[in-house]
Amino acid sequence: MSLKVLIADDDEVVIFLQKMMVVHSGLSPEPISFNDGKAAIDYLNEQYKEGDSYLILLDINMPVMNGWEFLDAIQTMPFSNAVSVVMVTSSIDSKDRDKAKQYTQVIDYIEKPLNIETCNRIKRLPQIADLF
C-alpha cells in the first residue's frame, strides 16, 4: 500500500517547482499533476481502486474547477475517504484557512511557497504518517 501524490495547480512553473520539492523530500518519487480540479477528479474516477490512498496538494484559485469546488464534488464520490488534501495556496486570507477546516479531507493548510521543510511536515502528519 502506497500513497500517490497529486498536484492540482494551474501554474506550470508552480507544478514544476512543487514536483521538485515533493521528489526531493521523498514525499513521492512520481507526483502526478493537473491544471484544475476537474482533471484531478477525472483521473481519480478512472484510477481509483479499493485500498488506494491519495494525497492531493490542492490550489484554491484554478480555472474550470477551483479548489473549493473540487472539495465539494468529491464528497459524494467513492474515493472520498481515500483522499487526504493539503491546501497549498498563495492566499493568506484567514477566511480561506477557516473554510478549509470545514472539510474532513483537508489535513493541512500551507501558504505558498512550498519548500522541503513543509513537505517533511506533511510526511509527519498523523493521518498519513503510516504510509511512509
Binds other proteins (CB under 8 A): choice among 113, 127, 129, 131: 113
With beta carbons less than 8 A apart as the criterion, state whether 86 and 57 touch. yes
Q: How far is the CB of 31 from other proteins (least distance, A)?
A: 15
Q: Are 116 and 24 in contact (CB under 8 A)?
A: yes
The answer to whether residue 29 forms part of the interface with other proteins (CB under 8 A) is no
Residue 24 is a binding residue for other proteins (CB under 8 A):
yes
Scan for cell 507526483, then name that residue: 31
Q: How far is the CB of 24 from other proteins (least distance, A)?
A: 6
CA 53, CA 26: separation in Å to the nearest integer?
16
- Pick one of 92, 102, 124, 130: the residue that binds other proteins (CB under 8 A): 92
